[in-house]
């Protein structure tokens, strides 16, 4: 609107200009779509505002309203231009990007190639939880203010998808505020970038009260077109599912990202509420310490029962996954035997997707063969506000494992404490989830399947196992240029992982969103609520 007004508003008073702007806006927006505040909630809170310090989906999605990428995802998860307008490959190892001109950060600083180089290098730091993706970008070089060149150390079959994990920060802002180093979340570091933000995105941070409320407003100088009418966003974490549901029904909230599965059918029939259904690209699984010679939290002394594949298989066979699906998840889950977020990563191959069968007697036999006929005691770490029914899943698994003599103490904590604990490998067994916009197996293989190593490789192998055959297969699949050969390597990698039971996959969770009838949202399979697509009509 401003360019139009500037051409026609010469000689007008500021008040007249404001009135004209208001009239023009009213003409553009239908009455029922006048700009609104979006009040929404989830069980958990963003872990940090530093865009590299934690790779957790809710944290990423909320930070992604302020910070932007060179390439983004559209409503169908296709890669589209964002801060880069175009790109090309110059051979298998080189990419050249043209940057969008005229973009400014929220503090008014211009966006340039220097910010891209700075951001990629900052994201490579040891405290960064996306270092594995940033390091895959190789060397980034400024050609001119609006051109950058990436040279990768090896062929990257999903280069653009990995680039879509690196938010662009302002180099000048970070230097001015002593924020050039990624927050050390595991050490509970207090850092400027963990509570303050300066991006190029459609929304700007207004206030941050961790665990209580975080508020945002629309960026009046945003470079792009915003489809929705939301001017302000207020996010309030509410751990209790019943309380979130009640707040939605009463009208205190406009939207709930994670209604409890047990409430979904009731909410479908509740006046003043609607359910927006969709599967999520996320797998829920169990990790186990296979690195230590003695578990930190177990009754077994002098050895580690989880190093024995027979024990890991016994735990797997003792899981009644259908009961978890029907009774606990209310059918809102798809059991799988493959630890990858999407069946697209397994090419829907039934051999890869096949689970070990539920067989308590076989599980008992395996436990006896391994030398634990009476089982043992162990602590099982889980978040209680991150995944759908996370704590209840852990409690259910504990009751099922009790049938084979494994006595489980469920240690349920808020996700900030849980992630901090597991990141330091301070765990014997844990419940975890993995997913996002990328459906390719690569972004599961490198951080989770591989041996822990440098530059973020194996960072999420929190069981700290060493499996050189699995590591070699995963590494080979990550750089293979021939699609048919790569497909074969991906299958070999998952089958090797499954044979050794390095983790125990459970299911891919579904995500029904809940909203007031006057709220229109776009449901994405990565469970990402994009605020600029939201419209809130007058009720």
Task: Give the tens place of pLDDT for each residue, 159-195.
Answer: 999 999 999 999 999 999 999 999 999 999 999 999 9
Which residues on adjacent β-strands are paired with residue 333? 509
Characterize 280-319 residue by residue with b for buried, 16 or more Cβ atoms within 10 angstroms of its Cβ, and e for exposed: bbbbbbbbbbbbbeebebbebeeebbbbbebbbbbbbbbb
| Chain segment 58-95, per-residue pLDDT in tens | 999 999 999 999 999 999 899 999 999 999 999 999 99
4 pLDDT tier (thresholds 50, 70, 90) = very low
DSSP string, 341-398: S-GGGGTT-HHHHPPPP--HHHHHHHHHHTT-TT--EEEEEEESSSSTTHHHHHHHHH
pLDDT: which is higher, 16 or 376: 376
Give the integer Cα–Cα distance in Å for 247 and 266. 15
Give the integer Cα–Cα distance in Å for 66 and 59. 12
> Beta strands 255-256 and 71-73: pairing type?
unpaired
Cβ atoms 389, 370 nearer than 8 A = no
232 pLDDT tier (thresholds 50, 70, 90) = very high
Q: Is the pLDDT of residue 19 over 50?
A: no
15 pLDDT tier (thresholds 50, 70, 90) = very low
Provide the pLDDT for residue 188.
92
Cβ atoms 89, 155 nearer than 8 A = no
Provide the pLDDT for residue 253.
97
Please indicate, yes or no, whether the overall pTM of this predicted structure exceeds 0.95.
no
Q: Is the pLDDT of residue 45 over 90?
A: yes
HSE of 65, CA atoms in CB hemisphere, 13 A = 31
Which strands sit side by side in the sheet containing 147-151, from one edge to the other?
Answer: 84-89, 94-99, 147-151, 139-144
Of 137-146, 273-282, 400-409, the poorest mean pLDDT is in 273-282
| Mean pLDDT computed over 237-247 | 96
Provide the pLDDT for residue 278.
81
Provide the pLDDT for residue 261.
85
The CA-atom distances, in angstroms, between 132 and each of 108, 113, 369 are 31, 22, 39
Provide the pLDDT for residue 89.
96
392 pLDDT tier (thresholds 50, 70, 90) = very high
The CA-atom distances, in angstroms, between 398 and each of 51, 335, 403, 526 are 35, 18, 9, 29
Percent pLDDT > 90 in the chain is 88
| Chain segment 497-525, per-residue pLDDT in tens | 999 999 999 999 998 999 999 999 999 98
Taking CA 162 as the corner, what is the angle to CA 156 and CA 164, rounded to the nearest 5 degrees? 145
Helical H segments across 137-201, by residue range? 159-163, 171-176, 192-195
Q: Phi and psi dihedrals of 360, rounded to 5?
A: -65, -40
| Chain segment 120-160, per-residue pLDDT in tens | 999 999 999 999 999 999 999 999 999 999 999 999 999 99
| Mean pLDDT computed over 262-281 | 91
| Mean pLDDT computed over 309-336 | 96
Give the integer Cα–Cα distance in Å for 271 and 289. 48
Which residues on adjacent β-strands are paired with residue 274? 515
Give the integer Cα–Cα distance in Å for 64 and 36. 20
21 pLDDT tier (thresholds 50, 70, 90) = very low
Provide the pLDDT for residue 539.
76
Q: Is the pLDDT of residue 34 over 80?
A: no
Which residues on adjacent β-strands are paired with residue 234? 39, 215
Provide the pLDDT for residue 1.
28
437 pLDDT tier (thresholds 50, 70, 90) = confident
Provide the pLDDT for residue 262.
84
Give the integer Cα–Cα distance in Å for 115 and 121. 10
Give the integer Cα–Cα distance in Å for 369 and 364. 9
> Which is it for the CA torsion 525, 531, 537, 539, positive or negative?
positive
35 pLDDT tier (thresholds 50, 70, 90) = low
Percent pLDDT > 70 in the chain is 94
């Amino acid at each position: 609107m401003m360019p139009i007004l500037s051409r026609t508003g010469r000689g007008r008073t500021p008040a007249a200009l404001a009135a004209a702007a208001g009239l023009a806006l009213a003409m553009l927006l239908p009455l029922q779509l006048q700009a609104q505040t979006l009040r929404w909630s989830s069980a958990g809170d963003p872990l940090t505002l530093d865009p590299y310090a934690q790779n957790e989906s809710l944290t990423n999605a909320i930070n992604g309203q302020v910070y932007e990428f060179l390439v983004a995802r559209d409503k169908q998860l296709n890669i589209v231009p964002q801060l880069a307008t175009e790109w090309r490959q110059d051979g298998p190892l080189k990419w050249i990007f043209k940057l969008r001109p005229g973009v400014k950060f929220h503090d008014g600083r211009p966006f340039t190639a220097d910010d891209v180089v700075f951001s990629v290098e900052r994201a490579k730091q040891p405290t960064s939880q996306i270092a594995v993706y940033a390091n895959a970008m190789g060397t980034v070089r400024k050609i001119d203010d609006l051109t950058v060149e990436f040279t990768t150390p090896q062929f990257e079959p999903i280069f653009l998808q990995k680039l879509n994990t690196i938010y662009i920060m302002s180099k000048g802002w970070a230097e001015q505020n002593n924020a050039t180093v990624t927050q050390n979340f595991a050490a509970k570091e207090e850092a400027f970038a963990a509570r303050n933000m300066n991006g190029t995105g459609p929304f700007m941070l207004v206030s941050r009260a961790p665990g209580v409320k975080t508020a945002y407003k629309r960026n009046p100088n945003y470079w792009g077109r915003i489809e929705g009418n939301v001017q302000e966003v207020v996010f309030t974490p509410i751990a209790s599912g019943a309380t979130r549901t009640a707040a939605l029904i009463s009208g205190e909230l406009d939207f709930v990202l994670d209604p409890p599965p047990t409430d979904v059918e009731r909410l479908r029939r509740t006046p003043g509420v609607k359910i927006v259904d969709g599967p999520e690209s996320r797998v829920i699984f169990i990790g186990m310490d296979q690195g230590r010679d003695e578990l930190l939290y177990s009754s077994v002394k002098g050895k580690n029962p989880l190093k024995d594949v027979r024990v890991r298989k016994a735990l797997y066979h003792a899981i009644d996954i259908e009961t978890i699906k029907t009774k606990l998840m209310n059918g809102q889950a798809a059991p799988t035997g493959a630890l990858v977020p999407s069946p697209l990563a397994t090419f829907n191959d039934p051999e890869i997707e096949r689970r070990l069968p539920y067989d308590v007697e076989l599980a008992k036999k395996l436990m006896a063969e391994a030398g634990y006929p009476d089982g043992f005691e162990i602590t099982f770490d889980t978040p209680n506000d991150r995944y759908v029914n996370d704590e209840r899943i852990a409690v259910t698994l504990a009751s099922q494992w009790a049938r084979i003599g494994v006595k489980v103490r469920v240690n349920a904590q808020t996700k900030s404490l849980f992630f901090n604990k597991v990141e330091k490998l301070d765990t014997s067994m844990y419940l975890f989830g993995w997913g996002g916009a990328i459906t390719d197996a690569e972004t599961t293989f490198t951080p989770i399947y591989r041996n822990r190593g440098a530059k973020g490789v194996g960072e999420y192998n929190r069981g700290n196992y060493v499996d050189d055959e699995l590591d070699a297969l995963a590494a080979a699949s990550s750089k293979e240029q021939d699609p048919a050969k790569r497909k074969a390597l991906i299958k070999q990698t998952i089958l090797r992982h499954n044979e050794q039971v390095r983790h125990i996959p459970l299911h891919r969770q579904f995500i029904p969103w809940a909203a007031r009838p006057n709220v229109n949202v776009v449901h994405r399979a990565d469970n990402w609520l994009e605020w600029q697509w939201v419209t809130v009509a007058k009720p």
